Amino acid sequence: MLEATELMVFYENMLALNNVSIKCDDGQIIGIFGSNSAGKSTLMYVLSGIILDIQRKEVMRGGERISVFGRIALDGQEITKFKPHLRAKAGIILCPERRRIFPESSVLENLKIGAYLSSKKDAKQNLEYVFHLFPRLTDCIKRQGGFLSGGEQQMLAIGRALMARPKVLLLDEPLLGLSPAYQKLVVDGVREIRDAKGISIIVTEQYARPVIPIIDYGYILENGSNMLAGSREELMDNPDVKSAYFGV
C-alpha cells in the first residue's frame, strides 16, 4: 500500500502541490485527473523520487530552488528520502509522461534494460507476459524505439516498466496523443495488469472518460490542490466533474 500524506512542493515561490494526500491500496487502480499545470506530473515525480534528482541538478546549476515536504510510505515503510533508484527497488516504478523510450535501442533491448532489477528467470517470465499483453510489440521486436509510433511507444513504455517488477506502477498520462483505438488497447492492458498480477496502479490523465471505467478511486487536482476525491461512482455523479473532465 502506497500512502502519501500532506505533500507540498514549491518551485521557488510557486506552489506546485498544496497539501495533497493520496492513498493506493493493494491491487487498486487510482485515477488522478487535472488539467495542464494542475500538478499531476509533479505528484508523479514526488512519488517516484525523481523530484529529488531534479532538485539536486537544480542546486548544482544554481537554478530553481525546489522544496519538497510531506511523507511517503510504502507498505508501512517510510521512503520519503529514498533516491529514485531505491524507490524503484522498493517497487515504485514510474512510466513517465511522453514515454521516454530509449530511442537508439531496439524494442527488445528497451525491455531488457527495464529488467535491470529482476533476476534472469523473472525477466524471462515478464518478457513473455509483456508480449502476451501487447502482441503488437512482437511485430517490431527488432525496431529502434525511436522509430515506433506513439501508441507502440506507449505499450513499450508500460512493458518496460513491468519488466522492473513493480508493486506500484505509476502511469503519467499514458493516453497522451494516442488514437482512440490505441487508447482502448492501453486501458485494457492496464486493467489486465492489475487483474492478472495484482499490481497497484496510479494513472494520471487530463481527460477522465477513457480511464474512469477501470479506476477504483479517483482524485481531482486543481492548481496543485486536491479539490475532490471519491470512488468511481461518486466522481461520475458529480456535476462539476462531469462538465470539467468528461466533456459532457
Binding-site string for another protein from residue 59 to residue 98, where x marks contact by CB under 8 A and - marks none: -xx---------------------xxx--xx---xxxx-x
Binding of another protein at residue 154 (CB under 8 A)?
Answer: no
Binding of another protein at residue 137 (CB under 8 A)?
Answer: no
How far apart (Å, rounded) are the C-alpha atoms in residues 51 and 54? 5
Binding of another protein at residue 140 (CB under 8 A)?
Answer: no
Q: Which is nearer to another protein, 29 or 148 (CB)?
A: 148
Q: Which is nearer to another protein, 112 or 191 (CB)?
A: 112
How far apart (Å, rounded) are the C-alpha atoms in residues 45 and 78? 17
Binding of another protein at residue 176 (CB under 8 A)?
Answer: yes
Binding of another protein at residue 159 (CB under 8 A)?
Answer: no
Binding of another protein at residue 99 (CB under 8 A)?
Answer: yes
Segment near another protein (CB under 8 A); pick from 4-12, 23-31, 107-115, 220-228: 107-115
Helix/strand number for the chain, H first, E second? 10, 10
Binding of another protein at residue 124 (CB under 8 A)?
Answer: no
Binding of another protein at residue 153 (CB under 8 A)?
Answer: yes
Binding of another protein at residue 117 (CB under 8 A)?
Answer: yes
How far apart (Å, rounded) are the C-alpha atoms in residues 97 and 89? 20
Per DSSP, what are the bridge partners of residue 32? 204, 219
How far apart (Å, rounded) are the C-alpha atoms in residues 176 and 185? 13
Provide the 8-state DSSP code for 83: -
29-33 and 14-24 as β-strands: parallel, antiparallel, unpaired?
unpaired
Binding-site string for another protein from residue 22 to residue 61, where x marks contact by CB under 8 A and - marks none: --------------------------x-x--x---x--xx
Q: Is 128 exposed, middle or buried (0-12, 13-18, 19+ CB in 10 A)?
A: exposed
Which pairs count as long-range contacts for 78-82, CB under 8 Å and 24+ apart, including other chains?
A: 79/49, 82/49
Q: Is 143 exposed, middle or buried (0-12, 13-18, 19+ CB in 10 A)?
A: middle
**Residue selected from 14, 78, 113, 195 as contacting another protein according to rule CB under 8 A:** 113
**Residue selected from 19, 21, 144, 223 as contacting another protein according to rule CB under 8 A:** 144
How far apart (Å, rounded) are the C-alpha atoms in residues 169 and 161? 8
Binding of another protein at residue 167 (CB under 8 A)?
Answer: no
**Residue selected from 11, 102, 131, 207 as contacting another protein according to rule CB under 8 A:** 102
Q: Which residues bind another protein (CB under 8 A)?
A: 48, 50, 53, 57, 60-61, 83-85, 88-89, 93-96, 98-105, 109, 112-117, 144, 146-150, 153, 160-161, 163-164, 176-177
